[in-house]
Structure 1
Amino acid sequence: MYVFGDSLVDNGNNNFLRSIAKSNYYPYGIDSNRGTATGKFSNGDTFVDYLGAWLGLPAPPPFADPTTTGPRILGGVNYASAAAGILDETGQHYGERYSLSQQVINFETTLSQLRTMMSGPNLSRYLSKAIAVVVLGSNDYINNYLLPGLYPTSFNYNPTQFANLLLNHYARQLVALYSVGLRKFVLAGLGPLGCIPNQRATGQGPPGRCVDYVNQILGPFNQGLLSLVDALNNGSHPGSIFVYGNSYAAMGDILNNPARYGFRVVDRGCCGFGQQITCLPWMPPCFDRTQYVFWDAFHPTQAVDAVLAHRAYAGPPSDCHPINVQQLALINFL
């Protein structure tokens, strides 16, 4: 499993970068196996940890870790970086991060190592079985388009134009990954960002409610990504399959029916004063993490990620289009 993404799936890359977007301190990781912070923006495991577990794969190591070489890269690598976006400039006010284009370059570094470890035909077969998971786009809105004081994009593009800009960049990088040998792609759509505590705290929506405007501007991106998946699957990229993960519907279901999933608190995070920010170092989080949908102002708890991963792995076409990850894993191209 090769993971491309942002803080939703970063597992420690930003620990090695000059960035203020870090989670290498308590209470992050409080519920992880080790009980310590690893650099994941969660109280425990992330979406890709759970998805990997369903696939029987160990969590891939972070690319930026100097020990991620040799046999360690054979089970996959995680390139995700907190604050990163599809656009290179997204999140730049946080300092260093691997944007999508840099993550693709980093994958090519891994690839050159793999070429020294196996023959050409074996490498092609290996890559055709690998699953690339891409979780990106949230920061292009939260840490770009919705920050007009720092980024001009909302003055230059209406929501549909901005979605098209993102999707054109995205498609180019997907084709680059296809051209070097990856064949199975899981592309996560955007969840309802207007419902994260950080956006609720802006006061742009009714008290205690999601910010509808934010959710609405995501529509063109999610619809466009679904259309892009259909276009990529229409025969122009033989021997490959692209899957769209409907994060918006899955997360929306959890937010609309929290009790069905065992959650009680949907409008604030478990740490960091609940709404504005990430966790504050050494400040104890809420007591019962299993009751919360959000861990901090931006990220879900591991309990939510477990639900989302299972829906991606085994869900119906309304969750994962045109097939789910379990079906994807069984396809053999070579």
Structure 2
Amino acid sequence: MHSFVQVGRIPFNQQIKNFESTLDQITDNLGADAVADAIAHCIFFVGMGSNDYLNNYLMPNYNTRNEYNGEQFSDLLVQQYSRQLTSLYNLGARKFVISGVGSIACIPSILAQNMLTRCSPDVDNLVNPFNNKVKAMVNTLNTNLPRSKFIYVDIYRMFMDIINNPRLYGFSVIDRGCCGIGRNSGQITCLPFQTPCSNRDQYVFWDAFHPTAAVNVMLARKAFSGNTDVVFPMNIQQLAALDLKAN
């Protein structure tokens, strides 16, 4: 028998508190001005939302779906998201990369539950309002928070292009995970010591939920140097070149 330590997710609010605590410690050693200048040059990557749907709203043992319809839930998430990003700004962050939620209609976990069709558009009908509101939030934050720049990475658009044109990108398996158990290798996700597929670079999905490294590399390259159809109002390379002062 093997025993495993179950590590829970750290909520974003707690992550921000941890960051603030770390900043306090660094400031004691380096001084406030030096730390503020360094933080202003850092790029903060934040990707939120998928777990709020997959591990909350869509779970039958949560009451969230009875309390909020899709629009109300996306409003709630984005209102909190905006406050959290503003907190990071108030701690000195100036350059932000905000990642939208990719399509979850076609992930192996959803496919395993939905045997009639390949994908479940109802799931993405929940995600799309959230993504649209995050885009609007990015525009608002760029207007309201001086000496900062927020950019939005349209993961959904990039990912759907891969799903719809897999061979163009070098993929041959789009409907099951490289590592997992059951229908579509998506009923139980990849377990410790389980042997994955031997040709993972040909798979879009690594496990029941997550894309493979090959997909992530493609997404990252487009986010870094892509055009405004996938990352706006500028790409990460352009964001890195901006000189945004802390004060």
Q: TM-score, normalised by structure 1?
A: 0.70
**Secondary structure class of the residue paired with 1:233:** helix
User: Which deviations, in whole Å up to 9, do the C-alpha atoms of 1:309-329 show, x marking residues without a partner?
Assistant: 001101111111111100000
Structure 2 counterpart of 1:180, one-letter code: L
Distance 2:175 2:238 in 1: 34
Task: State yes or no: 1:304 paired with 2:215.
Answer: yes
Paired AA for residue 303 in structure 1: A
RMSD: 1.4
1:244 aligns with 2:152: yes
Say whether residues 1:138 and 2:50 are aligned partners. Answer: yes
Change (3 A) 1:312 1:17: farther
| 2:192 corresponding residue in structure 1 | 281
- Pairs within 5 Å for 1:114-129: 114-129=26-41
- Determine if the alignment matches structure 1 residue 227 to structure 2 residue 136: yes
Task: Show the counterpart of 1:9.
Answer: none
Identity over the aligned pairs, expressed in percent? Answer: 45
Structure 1 segments unaligned to the other structure (5+ residues)? 1-15, 20-95
Deviation >2 Å, runs of 4+: 16-19
> 1:291-330, aligned counterparts within 5 Å?
291-330=202-241
Contact 1:314 1:325 (C-alpha < 8 Å) held by counterparts: yes
The code of the aligned residue for 1:168 comes to Q
Mapped contact 1:277–1:298 kept (Cα < 8 A)? no
Q: TM-score, normalised by structure 2?
A: 0.93
Amino acid at match of 1:258: P
Residue of structure 1 aligned with 2:124, choices 215, 232, 249: 215
> How many residues end up aligned between the 2 structures?
239
Tell me by how many angstroms 1:182 deviates: 0.3
Higher Cα Rg, which structure: 2
Aligned mates of 1:332, 1:268 — CA distance in 2: 44
Q: Contact 1:271 / 1:286 at 8 angstroms: preserved in 2?
A: yes
Can you list the C-alpha shifts for 1:2-25, whole angstroms capped at 9, x where unaligned? xxxxxxxxxxxxxx9743xxxxxx
- Does the residue aligned with 1:297 lie in a helix, a strand or coil? coil
Measured in 2, the distance between the counterparts of 1:283 and 1:18 equals 17
Structure 2 residue 107 is matched with structure 1 residue 173:
no
Aligned residue in 1 for 2:177:
269
- Give the counterpart letter for 2:159 in structure 1: M
| Matches of 1:180 and 1:17, distance apart in 2 | 33
Whose helix proportion is higher, 1 or 2? Answer: 2
Q: What are the ranges of 5 or more consecutive residues in structure 2 without an aligned counterpart?
A: none
Q: C-alpha deviations, 1:15-68, integer Å up to 9, x for none?
A: x9743xxxxxxxxxxxxxxxxxxxxxxxxxxxxxxxxxxxxxxxxxxxxxxxxx
- CA–CA separation in structure 2 for the residues paired with 1:102 and 1:278: 27
What displacement does 1:117 show? 2.9
- What is the 5 A alignment of 1:1-334? 18-19=6-7, 96-147=8-59, 149-203=60-114, 206-207=116-117, 209-234=118-143, 236-273=144-181, 274-334=185-245
